[in-house]
């Protein structure tokens, strides 16, 4: 309607099959192949604050080498705008999950998270989809440990992230409000000892006070005061 298409014209386009109705108020051209990337790209073009993040962003950037086939059907979106109800009705087998960024950063710095995104092409038409940088995506993953993502999965992901930017990591660590995420980040990086780890000093960031139990029946890591699975205690051998 905002583009000047009258209601009766829209009805005629649907009747003549020049447009296909997917849901109330949602249409596609007959030649358009329906993909989750296309749906998200359309939402982003309409100004929705929804960024592909977490495991989905790492996977699209070739960084999530340990995803199972079932997990690849899940699409993780982060931002301040909730998902439209029709999105999870479009494609069988594709499930969209929404995360509000305030869980990671608090309410005061949500807007600045857009500084840690990248755009990559996903179609022959040159369309580009906005997603979290690898650094931001990593912190988004850690937010869901251990409730939705296991310690072991996060540890394997960290093992492959050898080329992260210490400058972007430092800026993100300054904005993130989640004490759990920051402590878990340093715990896992100490196990892997990637080259970029040497440029980050835990004492430069607010890691809170007191002990945090992340793994029931686990072992307390004295450096970061978090309880972790016994199998992950100590540096990676």
Q: What is the pLDDT of residues 40-98, one digit of tens each?
A: 999 999 899 999 999 999 988 888 655 554 445 899 999 989 999 999 999 988 999 99
Measured CA to CA in angstroms, residue 118 lies from 1, 80, 85, 93, 121 at distances of 31, 18, 26, 26, 10
Identify which of 43, 54, 33, 63 has the alpha carbon closest to the alpha carbon of residue 129: 43
Whether this model's pTM surpasses 0.75: yes
- Compute φ and ψ for 77, nearest 5 degrees: -115, 140
pLDDT of 6 over the 60 cut: yes
pLDDT for residue 114 = 77
169-179: average pLDDT: 93
pLDDT for residue 69 = 45
- In percent, the amount of the chain with pLDDT more than 70 equals 92
Q: Which two structure tokens, joined as six digits, stand for 119?
A: 């755009």
- CA–CA separation, 113 and 132 (whole Å): 9
Identify which of 136, 60, 128, 59 has the alpha carbon closest to the alpha carbon of residue 99: 136
């Amino acid at each position: 309607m905002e583009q000047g298409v009258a209601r009766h014209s829209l009805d005629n386009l649907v009747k003549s099959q020049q447009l296909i109705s997917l849901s109330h108020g949602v249409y596609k051209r007959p030649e358009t192949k329906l993909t989750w990337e296309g749906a998200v790209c359309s939402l982003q073009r309409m100004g929705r604050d929804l960024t592909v993040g977490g495991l989905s962003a790492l996977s699209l950037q070739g960084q999530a080498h340990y995803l199972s086939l079932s997990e690849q059907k899940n699409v993780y979106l982060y931002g301040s705008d909730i998902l439209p109800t029709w999105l999870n009705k479009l494609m069988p087998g594709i499930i969209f999950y929404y995360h509000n960024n305030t869980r990671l950063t608090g309410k005061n710095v949500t807007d600045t998270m857009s500084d840690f995104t990248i755009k990559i092409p996903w179609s022959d038409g040159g369309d580009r989809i906005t997603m979290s940088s690898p650094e931001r995506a990593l912190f988004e993953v850690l937010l869901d440990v251990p409730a939705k993502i296991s310690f072991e999965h996060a540890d394997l992901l960290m093992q492959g992230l050898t080329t992260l930017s210490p400058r972007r990591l430092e800026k993100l660590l300054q904005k993130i409000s989640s004490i759990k995420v920051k402590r878990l980040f340093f715990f896992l990086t100490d196990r892997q000892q990637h080259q970029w780890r040497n440029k980050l000093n835990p004492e430069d960031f607010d890691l809170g006070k007191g002990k945090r139990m992340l793994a029931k029946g686990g072992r307390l890591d004295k450096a970061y005061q978090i309880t972790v699975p016994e199998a992950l205690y100590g540096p990676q051998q």
